[in-house]
Every structure is written in structure tokens, then in C-alpha cells.
Structure 1
Amino acid sequence: MNQNNMILSGDSKLDEQINNWRQWDGNPQTQNEISKAVENKEWDALKSRLCIRINFGTAGLRAEMRAGFDSMNDLVVVQTAQGLCEYLKNQYPDKSTWSGRGIVIGYDARHNSKRFAELSAAVFLCGKFRVYLFKQFAATPIVPYTIKKLNCLAGVQVTASHNPKQDNGYKVYWSNGAQIISPHDTGIQESILNNLKPMEDYWSVNEQALWSKPLLSNPYDKVVPAYFEALKEEIPSSFIQANDECPLKFAYTPMHGVGYPYVEEAFKQINLKNVCLVPVSEQVEPDPEFPTTPMPNPEEGKQSLDLAIKTATEENCQIILANDPDADRLAVAEISDNNKYKLFSGNELGALLGWWSKQIYNMKEPHGDISNCVMIASTVSSKILKSMAAVEGFIFHETLTGFKWMGNKAIEEELAGKKVLFAFEEAIGFMVSTNVVDKDGVSAAAHVATMARYLRCEKSMTLQDKLRDIYETYGYHTSICSYCICRDQVLIRKIFQRLRTFDNGKENTYPKSILNGEFEIEHVRDLTTGYDSSTADKRATLPVSSSSQMITFTFKNGLVAIVNEFYEPEKNQLQRKSAD
């Protein structure tokens, strides 16, 4: 019997998957991982890694790098690229668009990111696609910008954002420059499952052979200068001129990621002097080991920003800017009167950048129609933009959690003739303008720096002063975000079902108050079942997903409390959020 088809575990499904892996995987390291597990008869581990497949969702893929169909590795990347390639062919059957518009692929500095990007490029080249592959590390926002600039069919960024070093991911954007949403996510997943066997010998591809392909090119020189020109266009020229006299210093960390050259160039383009930007030396170079911050997430606060605070203190910097490793999110801290650094929450930065977006719109278009302007926030974020809209007269939209929803909503509004000024989510994601219809930590850093200079020099205010002023104008908003970890899916469903059947097990009988009736609930929206007590037909207007749990309680006193579930690799978490 052929060794590749022999009975191994006694479990026919597992044996089939072991044999599939042996036949399909061309990477010696991951081949050896599975072979050793077979030799050691680690059947439970093999069943978990080979019989459960990583799911392609609205965020693409994200998982630990190791052998197995449940993980990130060469074979899974090839299968994903093949599925995406075939799906694009079905969506765009005119072959001239494949070699004409093509696809853009970028990657960050994580282990295997470049390898995964090159394998993807090889798959699409074999599929007769034009491929724009960055030869250098790309900040994630550059990929969706490239799609719009070069009119690509889609884009891929190989990144796991702020996850630990053992993880990697595969983020997919559609031809509109936004992250994919339904039905493309399920369509791509189905296409992947229909194209699991590698169609070519991609494994022996090397960099020299790859770059000899006539349909492959590096888009950097075409799009990166244009990205910075577009950024400059969004800031009033008088503000850029005044930046030359900026008295502030900004400590900056890219968290061992790819952000520094992009933020450095952004500062240069908006006329902020070199001395204004003080890099955190221990973290400025890309390093996939993340040696000084095992959890490279600037949202974690002092735990991840201790070196930035140290640098800022030593160099007398008034403000700290921090990108996550792929530079699509931004954290900001400012020195306070007590010489401690105040770390702004994502909601506080959303308030500041929302105000700033309106400010620069008024400067650039003094006779513009604010009623035609739009700002967007996710449902778990602060309602500060809603309060601003009620006073200032612009349009506010709330979407489901994630920039996949906000980006697509922004595009929908633009197609309807609206001017989209700003969008944000509380997890320190900001989109100032629609140059990039996704969160962009590079442009956000440039806007925060210019805003801080403007406030300090022209209004004698700090960012904290301006935040207080915003609250005094539009009402005070505060948020508390926390989570608890639960790995028991049955228990999670039981908890949420109890909330839905609060009155003796009857459907849609949610709690009417909390704390013995002290705080009364006015409305309940359940985006798992589609129930919304605030609408005439009791149906939710936002998209509904039965696969994830989310219930929003709106209280009569204005408080909004959201209880939702989200999944991360190796963890199922119930995340409780209450805002405003």
C-alpha cells in the first residue's frame, strides 16, 4: 500500500486528512510536524489540527503559524489564494480584467509574512492575474489605498495586526477598497473548499524567478507618494504651513512593526520638522519577535507603552503616538499637569478627531453644506458623534462592529452623493476622510499631530482641554469596556438565551430594569435574533448574524449597555461593553 494512503489512526476522516496533508503540503518543516505527530500517535491533536479547518470570515484569516488546516501555513495560504483567485474569476469573467486590473498584495514584518505574500503572488500569476506585490513592508492602509488608486479587483494584506508573535493572518479587501462583507466572505470560503488541492508546484518558487514574471510589479512608487499627497490635500494648507513652527515633540513607537518610515514621511509631508518626531529606539526597527512587548497592542496602555513613556519623559515630549505593528490603529497619550501621561481611550480620540474633521472641513469649504456631510461609528463605540450631529446638523450613522461595516457604509454614502468626513471604532481605529476606506494609523497620526499643534499654538489648549470643551458643548460621554473569558460555547448561548427569555422562558422578554428597578430599560436590540423593540415592526435595521451574540440595552437615562461575544484564536470571549 502507498505510504501516502495507508490506514494510520483507524479514523477514516482523520486518515484521509493526514494523507491529504502529505500529498499537498510542499513545505518540509510542516510536513515533518505532521509526520512526527503521526509517529507519536497524537491522534487527538491531529484531529484538532487537520479535521477542523480555519474559517474564512469577514476579517479573512488569523491563527497561529503551525502545520494543520486549522492554522496559518504555506498550504493553507495557497489554498486560500486559489479560492480567492477562482472566486474573482467568477465575479469578473472578463479575462482582460485579470491581467488589466489585477490584485495588490502587501505584507508586514511578521515571521512568514513575506513568504505567504510571495506564495499568494505565485498563485495569482498562474491564474493569469496582474499582481502588484510590494517589495518592502507595507503599512496595512496602503493596500486598500492601492486598490482604489490602481483600480484593482481586490487586495490582500498578510498581517495579524496586534496579535502575539506566533500568529499571522490574511486580510482581504474587495474592489471598492473596503474589507469584504457578505456575500463575498461566504463565497470565498466556498471557493476555497472547492480548490484545496494545489494546482501547481508553488513550493519551489524563489524570489528571482517570481520577479521575472512580466505580470508582476512593485506598486510602491506609483501609490505611496500619491497616498501622502492625498493626505496633504485633506489638511488646510495654512495648517501645514504653520506646522513649521510646531513647538511640540512627539514620542513615537511602531511596536516593532512597519509604521516608522510611513509616519516619518507623513510628518515630513505635512511640514513637521524632524526634531518633532522622537522614535522609541528599542522598538523602531521591525522585529517579528516583538522582544520588548510580547503583546504588541497599544490599546493595552502602560503595559505596552512603558518604553514610549520612558522615551517621552527623557526627551521632554508632550505627546506619545503609538501604532500597532501593521500601523492601522493609533494610540495617543499627552502629558498632564502632574507630569503623568494621560492615555486617551479610543472613544476620547474619536471625539477629538470627530471635532477636528468638522474643523478642517469648515476651513477648506467655508460655504460647504454640513447637512450633506457624514460621520460614522460602530455600535459598541461612544455616541459622541451622534450628539455632535444633533447640534451641528451633519448625518450620523451607526454600524455593526468593525471597519468592514463602516468602510462599506462610507462607500454607500459617497455613492449617494454625501461627503464622508470621519469614522471610528472604540478599539483605536480611525478613518479621517475616505482616501482609505479602512482604519489608518498613519494618517491619524498626522492629523493628531497637526491638531495638537493647532490647539497649542492658536488656542492655547491641550488635547485634554479640547476634550473637556467638546464635552461641555455636546454633553459628557464616558465609557467602560471590559471582558471575561469563556471557552464553553454551550454556556455562552445559555447566558444570552436567559437574557432573551427573562420572563419565565418566554421569547423576547428581556429585562426591563436593573438594580431592583433603579435603572429602567427603554429599548432592547438583539442583532443575533433580529429583534428591536424601538422599531414599529420590532425588527432590527442593522444587519443580523445568528452566528454571534450581541444585545444592546438602551436605558431611559441615556446609558447604552452592550453585551456581545467575539472570537479570537484560542479564546472565546464574552465581552461586555457599556458606553455613554
Structure 2
Amino acid sequence: FRPVFGCVVSSVLLWLPGLTGVLQNQKTKEQIESLLQDGKHQELRERLCCRLSFGTAGLRSAMGAGFCYINDLTVIQSTQGIYKYLERNFSDFKQRGFVVGYDTRGQVTSNCSSKKLAKLTAAVLLAKDVLVYFFSTYVPTPFVPYAVQQLGAVAGVMITASHNRKEDNGYKVYWENGAQITSPHDKEIIKCIEECVEPWNGSWNENRVDTSPLRQDPLRRICDSYMQDLTKICYHRELNVQSSLKFVHTSFHGVGHDYVQLAFKAFGFQPPIPVPEQKDPDPDFSTVKCPNPEEGESVLELSLRLAEKEGAKVVVATDPDADRLAVAEQQDNGCWKVFTGNELAALFGWWMFSCWKENCSPDADVRNVYMLATTVSSKILRAIALKEGFHFEETLPGFKWIGSRVKNLLDNGKEVLFAFEESIGFMCGTSVLDKDGVSAAVVIAEMATYLQGQGLTLAQKLLDIYETYGYHISKTSYFLCYDPPTIKRIFERLRNFEGPQCYPKCCGAYNILHVRDVTTGYDSSQLNHKSVLPVSRNSQMLTFTFQNGCVATLRTSGTEPKIKYYAEMCALPGLSDRGVLEEELQKLIEALIENFLEPAKNGLTWRSA
């Protein structure tokens, strides 16, 4: 897309390939006309002269007019590109079919509801005589990768922006292995999209979904099968049936309510108490400023107050597309502890391995067992693996990397028990090769029930895990930055800190032992200075290992305008003073922000995560 606007833009909107598609939607047409009439030529250039690219969670952007936004046309173009790519790679593509799911997002100002965009996705494929498995109602994101595998489809798409703000939407693509696409598929699909930007005949006919004999509704089959498969990771059903422990669940105005209720039933529990104001879909997320349960107690207010009223000790919260899980537990002093993603991973890791040990066959080999985490997540699983004898692996950030690696391990006869990313994304078992808040919610409920029988709470067990495997104290937060050149300047400065191609040797008073830069493929800890992790040039990520044992990472978000930081102090079992570790970690983070991010100079806005 070459710029078509000169220094002066006339009152006539100039033609671009596919631009007529923008005008098919009255709402997006009005946006373009308004920008033109108001003389906002720079914004028109930005909207019309660049295209969405695949990030850590597929295509994701605001809903609205333009090729860098999510709208009818960009979804049609993306699907046409996917069709072209799949046709090249699968001779039986049309017979095996394609899965399409959607969440409950929508926006009146752009007329781009998730359901409508899903129907357009299906219409493109149905027009080319492809079998399409189109869910008849909204579903959790994990249902799409699960369905791809169960139905033997070649690929699938979920229309969702997960926990993003209400103005956003997204297009998440899954490959035949049930994992999100990785390179080179993403790059090749983008090429195919650019080769066929003009909508084909029939691509706009969203009503085809309701009339085509090639459309099948997999909802009942997939939901029943998913709930049945859940019981494979249910280890104490007899305790669940008798449990007196109460749970509150919030679905944050998204898709999770019905499915979490069914999951609890599958495990033998009484249904969790729903937060009435948040259990039904609401694309405006009217009771929360941000529909992201990762934000902690501030967005869990309604859940916590309801739990206190009902005498429930544990709150579980699924994000709007139900692929992530937050957990809070009331402590003896009446206060609530909201667990971080890393803390929950310590609990899940201990639980899944303990259950495996108790239920594995006599000839099972622990050396065949694996757990995984993204590289910016806590190293607690590594510590458990070293002590217990199983394998631990790291991947790049994003569950697309975890899912692909897990599939590879399974294909080679390995057993994967658990995987996670610190942003409250958990994979318990391998029925779904993606993060799954529904299964995680019911697993944490069973864990809490079991621990209650042992006279323990989740928080008490977490301390026991740290005392056994070593304290892992971590802190994660972020700065907002809406100016890409500023972000680039921050990271380029770190790559040329004291001269060309010279990374920092210290951060204030803290000496740096190693630097890893997966954006360029550099890693000073390796003999050849090449990163073991794959190069990821489309994102910024630098990791610093300090002489005091702290590991800190700075990276850009793949879905939001954020610079995130992650830092963790690890100690050997029995040799740690938690207070000292926390104090040291906080000082180092302050030095990291002051010396490397320079928020005052760069205009960054800090937000507590």
C-alpha cells in the first residue's frame, strides 16, 4: 500500500485496492468521510496506507475504518489470504473444513460485532465451497483450537480481542495442530492477503452462513466432548461432591458463565455463585473500567463483595473470552489475596505433578514428563523440575509458541502436564493447546477443596511450595506509550548504550552479567553469542541477568500500547529471607526504570499491573 495522498488531499476520496469494501459498511464509510471533511489527512494516511500484522495473539486492533483496523473488509481480506494459503498447503482443505468461533464483542459506532465478523469469515470460505464449522453462539476461545483437533479441520479462526478495551477486536488463527500460527505461516498468510485485497464475489454475503449446506454447527458435539475430556484432569471427584467450600465466579461480561458452570458440574461441584451484574454478555463492559482480571483487586470489587456476602472463600474470574483466569482467596484476617500469574503457576505446577505421581503407572518415567513457561514468566517450574526430575522448557512470549512446542513434544511421545505465561494464562493437561480459563478455574477449585481437607489454604500452600523449592519473588508492570518511534528509540538506546552495538554493563549500582536480545538474536551467555530462543524481529525484547541473581526483561506488548517489565529474584530452598529479596528486587526495578526507561524524558505513563 503506497501512500496515495499528496500534500493536498482533494475533497474526492482517491481509490485504493479494496477501498470500496470500506464503503460497504455505512458506519466505517461515515468515519472516512468525516476524516476527509475535517481535513485530518495524516490520520487518513495512517488508516489507509498500512496493514495489520500478526502479533503474539493474531491480528488485533481497534474496530473502525482503515486497513490497520479491524472491520468487515480487513476480516474479509484476511480470510481470503488464509484461503489462498491453505489451498496451497492442503489438497483436502475443502473436505476437512475450517472452524469459526466468536465472542460477544460489538461496537455500534463501527458496526463490527464479533458475530458479524465471524459470519463474514465463514462467508468467504463458504463461497469457495469449503466446509465450515460455525458455532451457533459465542464460545470460549479454547473451544476453537479444541474443535480444530477434534474435527480434523485444517485451521480455525476465533474473533476476539480477549481482555482488551471495548473498542478493540481481533482475529486469532489456529493451525491444524490446534496451536496458534507461528512463523513462517503468519508471514506467508500476510503475503497471500496482499495478493487478493479486492473482495471476491460472495465474500460480503454474511447470510450465506444461515443457508449454506456446507455450514455445520459443532457446538453441542464440541461442548460435550470438551466437558468429558475435562474429567481426565479431575483427580478427587469424591471430595468435590462433598465439598462445603463455596466459590464465586465472574465472567467479566463475556462468554464464560455457562461454560464454567458446566465445568464445575463435570468435576462434581455445586455450581459457583455468579456475579449477577457481570454474568451476561455486555460488549460495553459496563461495570469495569478495564475488562482485564489481571489488573487485580480493583476490577474484582463486585466479586469480592459478593463472596463476603455469601461466605465464599475463593473467587475465580475468567476474562471476556474465557482463556485466562484470575484467583482471589480470603485470608484469616478478612483481607483478600489476589494471586499473581506466577504464584498461580507455582500452585498449578505443584498440583499437576503431585497428581501425576499419585496416578501414574508403576513403570512411568519422570524423565518423560515436561512443563513449559514463556521466558518472561517465573522460573518456579524450573526449580520444581530440578528437584523432582522432570523437564522444564522456555519459549518466547505468547501461547502460540507454547502450543506449537507442546504439540511437538506430544508427537515425540512426551507427556506434558502443565504450561503457563505470567499474564494469568494456564494450560492444564493437553486437551487444548492454548491457555484455557475454563479448565484452570475448575482445577483451582479442586485444588482448594483438597487443601481444605488438609487444613490448608491456597496461600499457605504457596508458601510451602516456596520453602520447598526456593522463593521466587517477581514483579510485573507496564508503562503506556502511544508513540512507536519513542518505543523504538528506548530500545535502540539500550542496544547502543555506551557506543555502537554496546549493551549496558550495569544498571545504576547493579552489575549486569548477561544480556539477551531476541529481537536481534544476540545472547552474551552463549559461546557464539546467538540466542537459543527464536529471533522475533517484529517485537522488542531485552533480558538482563544481574550478578545478584535477578533476571529482568523489557518488552513491548503484542496486543496493547505497552512497554512491559518483568523482574524476578530466585533463592535456593531454605536459604532465603523473603523480606530481603523483596527489598532488593524493588530497588533494582527502580534502577531499571530510572536508567533504562527514563519515563519522565520519554513521556511514559506508568500503570500498576
Partner of 2:455: 460
Q: Is contact 2:127-2:203 (8 Å) kept? A: no
Equivalent-residue separation in structure 1 for 2:18 and 2:89 (angstroms): 29
Q: Is contact 2:120-2:205 (8 Å) kept? A: no
Equivalent-residue separation in structure 1 for 2:128 and 2:151 (angstroms): 19
Shift of 1:40: 4.1
Shift of 1:11: 5.2
- Letter matched to residue 280 of structure 2: E
Equivalent-residue separation in structure 1 for 2:470 and 2:21 (angstroms): 63
Equivalent-residue separation in structure 1 for 2:491 and 2:70 (angstroms): 32
Partner of 2:84: 86
Shift of 1:51: 1.8
Offset from partner CA, 1:517-556 (integer Å, 9 cap, x none): xx43322211122121222211111011233221111223
SS of residue in 2 equivalent to 1:473: helix
Equivalent-residue separation in structure 2 for 1:10 and 1:193 (angstroms): 27
SS of residue in 1 equivalent to 2:557: strand
SS of residue in 2 equivalent to 1:37: helix
Shift of 1:46: 1.9
Equivalent-residue separation in structure 1 for 2:398 and 2:370 (angstroms): 17
Q: Which segment is superposed worse, 419-428 or 62-71? A: 62-71
SS of residue in 2 equivalent to 1:522: strand
Equivalent-residue separation in structure 1 for 2:350 and 2:244 (angstroms): 22
Q: Does residue 1:71 correspond to 2:69, yes or no?
A: yes
Pairing partner for 2:269 from 227, 251, 272: 272
Partner of 2:215: 216
Within 5 Å, give how 1:255-404 maps onto structure 2: 255-274=252-271, 277-367=272-362, 368-404=364-400
Partner of 2:163: 162
Shift of 1:54: 2.2
Equivalent-residue separation in structure 1 for 2:567 and 2:135 (angstroms): 41
Shift of 1:23: 5.9
Shift of 1:191: 0.8
- Letter matched to residue 513 of structure 2: E
Shift of 1:9: 8.2
Partner of 2:225: 226
Partner of 1:433: 429
TM-score (norm 2): 0.88
Pairing partner for 1:48 from 43, 46, 55: 46
Q: Which segment is superposed worse, 119-128 or 365-374? A: 365-374
Equivalent-residue separation in structure 2 for 1:7 and 1:353 (angstroms): 54
Q: Is contact 1:98-1:128 (8 Å) kept? A: no
Q: Does residue 1:525 correspond to 2:521, yes or no?
A: no
Q: Is contact 2:231-2:267 (8 Å) kept? A: yes
Shift of 1:286: 0.8
Equivalent-residue separation in structure 2 for 1:23 and 1:159 (angstroms): 22
Shift of 1:24: 6.1
The 1:404–1:506 alpha-carbon spacing in structure 2 relative to 1, beyond 3 Å, is same
Q: Does residue 1:254 correspond to 2:243, yes or no?
A: no
Gaps of 5+ in 2: 107-112, 570-609
Shift of 1:471: 0.3
Within 5 Å, give how 1:482-521 maps onto structure 2: 482-502=477-497, 504-507=498-501, 509-516=502-509, 519-521=510-512
Equivalent-residue separation in structure 2 for 1:514 and 1:48 (angstroms): 37
Equivalent-residue separation in structure 1 for 2:491 and 2:17 (angstroms): 41
TM-score (norm 1): 0.92
SS of residue in 2 equivalent to 1:143: helix
The 1:41–1:486 alpha-carbon spacing in structure 2 relative to 1, beyond 3 Å, is closer
Offset from partner CA, 1:434-493 (integer Å, 9 cap, x none): 110000000000100000001111x11100111001001000001111222334444433
- Letter matched to residue 522 of structure 1: L
SS of residue in 2 equivalent to 1:72: coil
Equivalent-residue separation in structure 2 for 1:568 and 1:144 (angstroms): 20
Pairing partner for 2:445 from 436, 449, 468: 449
Offset from partner CA, 1:6-27 (integer Å, 9 cap, x none): 9998559x95446842366422
SS of residue in 1 equivalent to 2:419: strand
Within 5 Å, give how 1:33-182 maps onto structure 2: 33-92=31-90, 94=91, 97-111=92-106, 112-182=113-183
- Letter matched to residue 88 of structure 2: N
- Letter matched to residue 540 of structure 1: S
Offset from partner CA, 1:391-427 (integer Å, 9 cap, x none): 0000000111110111111111112221011000110
Q: Which segment is superposed worse, 66-75 or 519-528? A: 519-528
Shift of 1:366: 4.7
Equivalent-residue separation in structure 2 for 1:212 and 1:202 (angstroms): 14
Partner of 2:586: none
SS of residue in 2 equivalent to 1:411: helix
Q: Which segment is superposed worse, 214-223 or 549-558? A: 549-558
Equivalent-residue separation in structure 2 for 1:15 and 1:251 (angstroms): 53
Q: Which segment is superposed worse, 313-322 or 538-547? A: 538-547
Q: Is contact 1:21-1:31 (8 Å) kept? A: no
Q: Is contact 1:551-1:563 (8 Å) kept? A: yes
Aligned residues: 558
Q: Does residue 1:579 correspond to 2:568, yes or no?
A: yes
Q: Is contact 2:156-2:174 (8 Å) kept? A: yes
Q: Does residue 1:420 correspond to 2:416, yes or no?
A: yes
Q: After the TM superposition, which parts of structure 1 deviate over 6 Å for at least 4 consecutive aligned residues?
A: 6-9
Equivalent-residue separation in structure 2 for 1:291 and 1:308 (angstroms): 15
Equivalent-residue separation in structure 2 for 1:230 and 1:429 (angstroms): 19
- Letter matched to residue 578 of structure 1: A
Partner of 2:596: none
Shift of 1:67: 1.6
SS of residue in 2 equivalent to 1:480: strand
Equivalent-residue separation in structure 2 for 1:54 and 1:496 (angstroms): 22
Q: Does residue 1:557 correspond to 2:534, yes or no?
A: no
Equivalent-residue separation in structure 1 for 2:184 and 2:17 (angstroms): 32
Shift of 1:86: 1.0
Shift of 1:76: 1.2
Shift of 1:101: 1.1
- Letter matched to residue 107 of structure 1: Y
Equivalent-residue separation in structure 2 for 1:24 and 1:497 (angstroms): 37
Q: Which segment is superposed worse, 100-109 or 18-27? A: 18-27
Q: Does residue 1:480 correspond to 2:479, yes or no?
A: no
The 1:50–1:16 alpha-carbon spacing in structure 2 relative to 1, beyond 3 Å, is same
SS of residue in 1 equivalent to 2:227: helix
SS of residue in 1 equivalent to 2:164: coil
Q: Does residue 1:244 correspond to 2:244, yes or no?
A: no
- Letter matched to residue 352 of structure 1: L
Partner of 2:25: 27
Equivalent-residue separation in structure 1 for 2:156 and 2:221 (angstroms): 16
Pairing partner for 2:537 from 543, 546, 549: 546
The 1:403–1:17 alpha-carbon spacing in structure 2 relative to 1, beyond 3 Å, is farther
Equivalent-residue separation in structure 2 for 1:317 and 1:488 (angstroms): 44
- Letter matched to residue 186 of structure 2: D
The 1:9–1:213 alpha-carbon spacing in structure 2 relative to 1, beyond 3 Å, is farther
Equivalent-residue separation in structure 1 for 2:50 and 2:145 (angstroms): 31
Q: Is contact 2:56-2:559 (8 Å) kept? A: no
Q: Is contact 1:528-1:547 (8 Å) kept? A: yes
Equivalent-residue separation in structure 2 for 1:219 and 1:339 (angstroms): 45
Q: Is contact 1:352-1:467 (8 Å) kept? A: yes
SS of residue in 2 equivalent to 1:283: coil
Gaps of 5+ in 1: 1-5
Shift of 1:204: 4.4
Name the % identity.
Answer: 46
Q: Which segment is superposed worse, 539-548 or 36-45? A: 36-45
Q: Is contact 1:62-1:72 (8 Å) kept? A: yes
The 1:212–1:533 alpha-carbon spacing in structure 2 relative to 1, beyond 3 Å, is same
